Each structure stands twice: as C-alpha cells, then as structure tokens.
Amino acid sequence: MTVTRDLPLPSQEDTTREGRRLAIEEAAARVIADPANSRVAARLLAEEIAAEAAAHGVRSFSESVAATHEAGLVHDDLAEFVRNNATVLDDLTDPEGDARFEYFGLRTVYDRYLLRHPVTRGVLETPQHFFLRVACGLAGTVAEAAELYGLMTTLSYLPSSPTLFNSGSRRPQLSSCFLLDSPRDELEAIYERYGQVARLSKYAGGIGISWTRVRARGSLIRGTNGHSNGIVPWLRTLDSSVAAVNQGGRRKGAACVYLEPWHADVEEFLELRDNTGEDARRTHNLNLANWIPDEFMRRVEADSVWSLFDPKEVPELVDLWGAEFDARYREAEAAGRYVRQLPARTLYGRMMRTLAQTGNGWMTFKDAANRASNQTARPENVIHLSNLCTEILEVTSDAETAVCNLGSVNLAAHLQRGGVDWARLRSTVATAVRFLDRSIDRGFYPTPQAEAANKRWRPIGLGVMGLADVFFALRLPFDSPEALALSTRIAEEMALAAYGASADLAGALGAHPSYADTRAAGGVLHLDHFPAADPVHPEEWALLRDRIAATGLRNSLLLAVAPTATIASIAGCYECVEPQVSNVFKRETLSGEFLQVNRYLVRDLQERGLWTPQVRDAVKRADGSIQDVPSIPQDLQRLYRTAWELPQKALIDLAAARQPYIDQSQSLNLFMATPTIGKLSSMYAYAWRAGLKTTYYLRSRPATRIAQTTVAAEAGAAPPPLDVVPARVAVLDPEAVACSLENPEICEACQ
C-alpha cells in the first residue's frame, strides 16, 4: 500500500513570484532577438523587488529609511532628515523611474546596491528609494535632494560606486580612490603604509601606491651590514594584504603599484605578473604601472643608453620632474652613481612584452602629469603616481594621501533631436560639481592622511559615460573627424560648466585652503598648457578667467574620465569614452551571466528587415563582429566596428584632443587582438608624443565570448570550443622595436 503525506500547497503569492521569475528569465534570454525584451525583464524584476520590500513592510521611502535605520544600516542624521520631511520626500519618488532601467542595470542594482535586512537578506529599499537615499545623504534641504535625485532617476548622472554604496550609511566612505606616496625607505614606514592600505581598502577604496623610494636589491643596509632583497618581497606582502581585504564582500580589494623606470629593480618589477618563473617573486593581485619621465622616452627614440639607480643613492630623483629631473639624472649618471646600464630600447621592449602578455605594466607619463597640473605650482608639490584606474593625478607626500570623489554624466541621456542638448549638459555638470564637493565634507575617512589631503585640496573627478551611444545615435563612426570634434566640444562644455560651478561655490563658501599654492591663483588654467587647443568658446574662457581671479576655486581639480564599468551598466549605456568591444556578447559579473546586444545596430537592422535568425547566428559566430556579414550594408559595418576593428590611433587622437579640458586624466584602454612588440612600441610612443598623461589596460583579447553552442555550425564546419580566445602574441624582437619607433606610420595599430 502506498503511503502519501500531505504537502503544503504553494500560496498565491509564491505562485505569482515563481511565475514572475520564470518570465524574467524568459525575457532576458530573448534579448538578442529583440533588445526591447531587456526592458520587459527589468519591469518584471522591479515588481519582484517591490514585492520583496513590501514583505518587510516597506512601501514608501520614509518606511524604507525607518526600516534600514532600525536595522542599523543608515546614519541617525539621515533618519532624522527623512522623518522631518517624510511626506514631501515620499512624493518625490518617481513611479516611472524603474521603467528606465535595462535588465542588466536593474539586476546590478538589486544584487549589489540595495540595502538588505541583516538576517533575512531581503531588500529594505526599492531602486527609487536607493537613489533618493543617496541624494538625501548628500543634501542639506529637500530641494537639494530633489535636484540630485532628479538626475539619478533619469540616469543622467550617477556618483561612483562607493558613494552609491555608502551615502547616508552609518559610515559614509564616499571616495573612489586613494593615492599613497612611496613609503620612506625604513622598515617602520613600510609597515605603516601596509596598515594605511588595508584601512583604505576595507572601505571600498581603490589604491594607487608608488614604491620608487624603497631601496633596490643588493643595496647596503648600514644598520645590519647586510644587503637588501629589493622591492619584490615587500610587494609580495602588499599583494597578500590586498587579497585579504575584500571590501566587505561586495568587491575585491584592488591596488596598483607605480615604479619609475630608473629604479634598479624595474626588470624584476615587470615580471611580477608573469605566469612563469619563481612564484615567490610573483604578485597575482597587484596591478602594475610604469611612471615614465620624458627623458626615458627620448632615449628610447634616440636608441641610447639608460641608467638604473638605487633610490637610496639618488633619493632626490623621486621628487623631481621635467628639466630639473633631467639635469639631476644626467649629473648622477655622469658621476657613475648608477647600478648598471642597458639600452633604453631593451627596457622599453620589456615593458611592451609585459603589456602584451599580461595587459599590465600601464604606461603613465610623469612629466605630462606634473607639467599641466593645477596642484604643482610649487616645487614641493609633486605628483608621484596615478590611481588604480589611471585617471586621477594629485600630489602626494608622506603626510598626505590623495583622495578623489568621482561621478559621471551619462551623455546618452543628454541627446536631443539632431545633437547634444548643451544647456542641459551644463546644468547637469553644475549640479554634479556641487554634490561632489559636498561629498568631501560628508565623507568618512579611514585615515587622517586622507582627510587632511582631501580637505586641503578638495579635488573632484567628474567624468562621462555613453560617448559610444552618442556616436551611434548621431551616426558618427568613432574615427571620423566629426566624432573627434564632438568629443572635444563635449569636454570643453563640461570644463566651462565645472569651473564655473566651482567658482560659484568659492564665492559662497570660500576657495579651497591650498588655492594660493595653485597655478589658477596665478591666472593659469589647465587649458593654457595646451597652446594648440582651439576652443569653441574663447570669449567665455576669458570671462571665466576673470571670474576665477575674483572668487578663486572651491576645488583644485575638477575633471577626470573614470572607467564607469558598473555605473554605466546601471545607466544602460556604454562605458566612459570606450568603443564597444562587441555587438553581441555574454557578460559575466557577480550577478551572473547576461547576454547583451547593441540595440542601436539591432534597431537599424530591424528597420531594414535584416535582423534575421541567420544574421544573428552569423554575428554570434564572428564573436560580435559584423564586418564579414555580407547582408549588412557597408555604412552600418563602418559605424558599428568594435574596439578590435578600430584604428587605435583614433582612440589616442580623441583622448589627446580632450586632454586640454580634463585637468586630471583619462582611463584610456587600448585594444589589440594579437599584440606584437613592434606594434605596441609604435602605439605607446605615439601616445606619449600626443601628450597623453596616462594610459590604462592593453586589451589583447575580447573580454567575453558568445556561447557557440547556440549557433548552428555552417556546413562542414564545427563551432570553435567555448574557451578559445585569440592568443596573446608577444614577439620580443629588438628589430621590431627599432622599426616601429623609426617608422611609426607603418604601425597598423595606428593607421
């Protein structure tokens, strides 16, 4: 006899939620057929989030803040502000706000940003409550909260992830990045730096740190009469520390170490990320960057010798740049104080090999960074490094850890029929500057060195995202003269608005404490360092200069183009100033795997009746390229080229044309599917000659691949394995370096 047991029947609510989840999965899976399914999936997910919040008694913004405050997640000041203004704040939430999300963006918000009950892990706020909570955390009045919330709910502007994570929280660490000077060449100073890095990384800050002051391998240690093991063992310890501090489980700790190429350990430094060799001399979590003086690049071009020094013997070189560095370097060289010498091109070739094999060893340029900076008017104020993502350039010292608060304008949200809405763009920039400045005062600082520097200089880094969306919408190929002109105009309009807003703040609240130590105090603005620049608004620049002379500036630095990887996903646009990496690709994140497609391309093909299953399969087989799909017209093939199919010279030229209007720097990735030493040598020499301050990753293969199993193989051909990617090619041929440098125009990367 069969024994049966009564099983509880699912409730109507459980049935509804399960059906909704299945519908979300189905809609998300159909995004490639029609990108409109992304909005369908997002709408269903928004309903799911609202139901989850309601299960915890949260239906309004004031209820959300009350619940998160009771759970110990938000600051008492925020809770009081919301209680005192509950009705009007509840009425601010936009019922249409969630409809603006793409599925991937809303899923990212749900998984990573919404505050959750510490026990049940259910959400205690909806996406609109989240945006309004961030705005209230930075606001002094309801009107201010409404102004910032209005930009965020329309996805027109978003602060960086630390601000989104922590605004209004118990411990509001709002800053994105921290830059630490090289520790003094003393045991206690090095361990003190380790502690500072750990505390900063704990609260979601990306770390940049120089290591150039630390003595080289073989250097005499007078206290023990022994010899130093060099920088590698110290960096191994730093590597382990960074890996151990995981920023509360929300994202991994991350750091980048900068070294000048005259340091005698530079060759071992360039091997730290290699996959071969002695593991005890490798670091797997640190990123690496070269902090390169012009003198090195000149010697590479001239094919002359380069001298390596122990910084213990030439400590003055760390704090010098430009002509002073050149003179002291040559004096030390002539005096025979070097450890050894080698051809400059040999070391440069080793840098290129590191880039080709690991994507690391970023090329950043010391003299360009210092020459144009508003902060380096006095000799004692020196920029020694950039940050984790190479867009922040600020002075550092043993007593000051440079800090930057970031946010980015979504250019795609500022389009009107026929072009950019310039008035709205300027209005958005002015609002963003005011709230980025506010974050300096509202933020929690993990170390006193960070707080001292941030409040002394008050730097901010306002950037952009969605430049590729603008080019697609306006039918401008990335390498067209029209795209170059528009990109430059956007940078100029933003600079005018940002400097104007900072002058307004200075008039109302006072200039930043170090204003007298800046170039602006002497009447020199960042644009003045670029005589070849041809601004669209010269008269307005003249008026702005007079205005700044009268009021000063609230912020020593204002503009920087950060990568925006996560916030661009939330906003549903392409990252910062990047070209697309693929027209169809699978994105893997902490939230899972998401199939994404270029909706601009699909719209164009749908209008022409060409987005057929056969074309979709052809694009998948080509890893998101449409260049070899015969049925796609040539004008679309040119417009929708991927980063791998664009001449990298165009990306460098775009960045160089923007640079006069960006007083910090730009996270500029460069792309080469199969890099060689010769191609890279030419490309980075061109970037240096173009006046770029920094570059970022070398991307040598697509970040993601389409699952080929979803595509029927062409007749007689098997689909490639899922793990096949273009090989990293690193041909270390000294003649390739010489050829590419002496004949730079032949490099296919730059054509």
Point out the residues that are catalytic: 387, 389, 391
CA angle 734, 735, 738 (to 5 degrees): 95
DSSP 451-505: HHHHHHH--EEEEEE-HHHHHHHTT--TTSHHHHHHHHHHHHHHHHHHHHHHHHH
If you compute the radius of gyration of the chain from its CA atoms, what whole number of angstroms results?
A: 26
Task: Say how many C-beta atoms besides its own lie within 10 A of residue 47's C-beta.
Answer: 16
> Could you tell me if 461 and 560 are in contact, meaning their C-beta atoms sit under 8 angstroms apart?
yes
Beta bridge partners of 228: none
In angstroms, rounded to a whole number, what is the distance separating the alpha carbons of residues 41 and 594? Answer: 12
Task: Say how many C-beta atoms besides its own lie within 10 A of residue 59's C-beta.
Answer: 14
SS3 for 314-377 is CHHHHHCCHHHHHHHHHHHHHCCCCCEEEEHHHHHHHHHHHHHHHCCCEEEEHHHHHHCCCCCC
CA angle 422, 427, 428 (to 5 degrees): 100
Nearest Cα neighbor of 406 from 197, 177, 202, 207 is 177
In angstroms, rounded to a whole number, what is the distance separating the alpha carbons of residues 431 and 734? Answer: 52
In angstroms, rounded to a whole number, what is the distance separating the alpha carbons of residues 726 and 722? Answer: 12
In angstroms, rounded to a whole number, what is the distance separating the alpha carbons of residues 75 and 594? Answer: 35
In angstroms, rounded to a whole number, what is the distance separating the alpha carbons of residues 442 and 168? Answer: 9
In angstroms, rounded to a whole number, what is the distance separating the alpha carbons of residues 498 and 713? Answer: 53
Q: Are strands 255-259 and 286-292 parallel, antiparallel or unpaired?
A: parallel
Provide the residue type at 546 as one letter: D
> Could you tell me if 57 and 63 are in contact, meaning their C-beta atoms sit under 8 angstroms apart?
yes
Q: How many CA atoms lie within 13 A of 632 on its CB side?
A: 25
Nearest Cα neighbor of 454 from 376, 499, 513, 511 is 513
Q: What are phi and psi of 585, to 5 degrees?
A: -155, 165
> Could you tell me if 584 and 704 are in contact, meaning their C-beta atoms sit under 8 angstroms apart?
no
Q: For residue 635, what are the contacts with CB-CB under 8 A and spacing of at least 6?
A: none
Q: Are strands 305-308 and 340-343 parallel, antiparallel or unpaired?
A: antiparallel
In angstroms, rounded to a whole number, what is the distance separating the alpha carbons of residues 213 and 233? Answer: 15
- Dihedral, CA atoms, 249, 435, 457, 524, nearest 10 degrees? 130
> Could you tell me if 151 and 430 are in contact, meaning their C-beta atoms sit under 8 angstroms apart?
no
Q: Are strands 157-159 and 402-410 parallel, antiparallel or unpaired?
A: antiparallel
Most distant pair of Cα atoms in the chain: their distance = 100
Residue pointed to by tokens 């830059």: 179
Beta bridge partners of 220: 227
Q: Which residues of 705-720 are buried (b: 16+ CB within 10 A; e: fewer)?
A: bbebeeeeeeeeeebe
Strand, coil or helix: 123: strand
Beta bridge partners of 393: 386
